Every structure is written in structure tokens, then in C-alpha cells.
Amino acid sequence: MNRAFTNDPLWISLVEQFREACVLRRNGRHEESEQLLQTEIPNKIAAWSKQALPVGIDRRSALETMFQDEQRRVEEAFFVQKLVTTQIEEQLLPKLCFMIAEELRDVVRSEARGGRGFEESFTRRLTQSPARPRVQFDEPSLDNEPHLQAA
């Protein structure tokens, strides 16, 4: 964001609305994006253009720079989103599915051996703590400061 406008609420609102229009367009919501681009953003630009600016600031240049910067930011954000989504789909979800399947197999085996109902066995496993805590607080002392010790 242009440093000359960091404290200008109208400029900040203009930038946020333009960013929103870019995100809407990127998400295929063209009508909503056009609504912002054709009505609300021009009105904000007109109001902003009436404000006094610091000496040496070119309004057109500031707007063009902001438009380019925000479009780049939105594209970068969508690129990162795509990378994260790919990582989740290719690595995290298969591991989670495997862990859940193993847990269900264990519950079914346990039910088959112990004769307990599936729901009771599954609920018991869900409420059990999978691991003991690694850190615990000492009993409160007179100085009222908590102390940590390895468990």
C-alpha cells in the first residue's frame, strides 16, 4: 500500500473493495465483481480524488500502482491456495484416511473379541487420551508463579 495513504480510511476502503472485486472475479462471481467495479469503486475514487494529497503525489499513478499491486496479491494468494490444497489432497488426506481406517479396524476387532457394542467401544476410544501430557504444572506455591517440570 502506498505509504502516503496508510492512515487514510477512504484509501484503505478503496483498496479493500478493489481487492474484494479481484477475489470475486477470481472465484467466478463476475456479476458481484462488476457491481463493485462499475459503481462502488468509481464513487470511492471520486471521493478520494477530492481529498488534498501530499505534495508530489500523482493520483493516477497511485491508483494504477494500487490496481497492479492488488491484482498481483490476489493472484499470489490463489497460487498459494492451490499449492496448499494440493499438499492437503496428496499428502495429508491419505494419511488421515489411513489413520481413521486403522482406528476403525481396531474398534471392530475389539468389538468382535470383547462383545461390546460398536458405539460403546468407539465412544470409549474417542474419549480416551491418546498420549499422556509431556508437561505438567507443579502444585501452586506461595509465590503464585507456575513452574514447569518434565512429566
pLDDT in tens, 82-140: 999 999 999 899 899 999 999 888 888 887 787 656 666 666 666 665 555 545 555 65
CB crowding 3-30: b at 16 or more within 10 Å, else e: eebeebeebeebbebbbbbbbbbeeeee
- Global pTM? 0.62
- Distance, CA of 43 to CA of 50 (rounded, Å): 11
pLDDT score of 148: 46
Is the CB of residue 48 less than 8 Å from the CB of residue 10?
yes
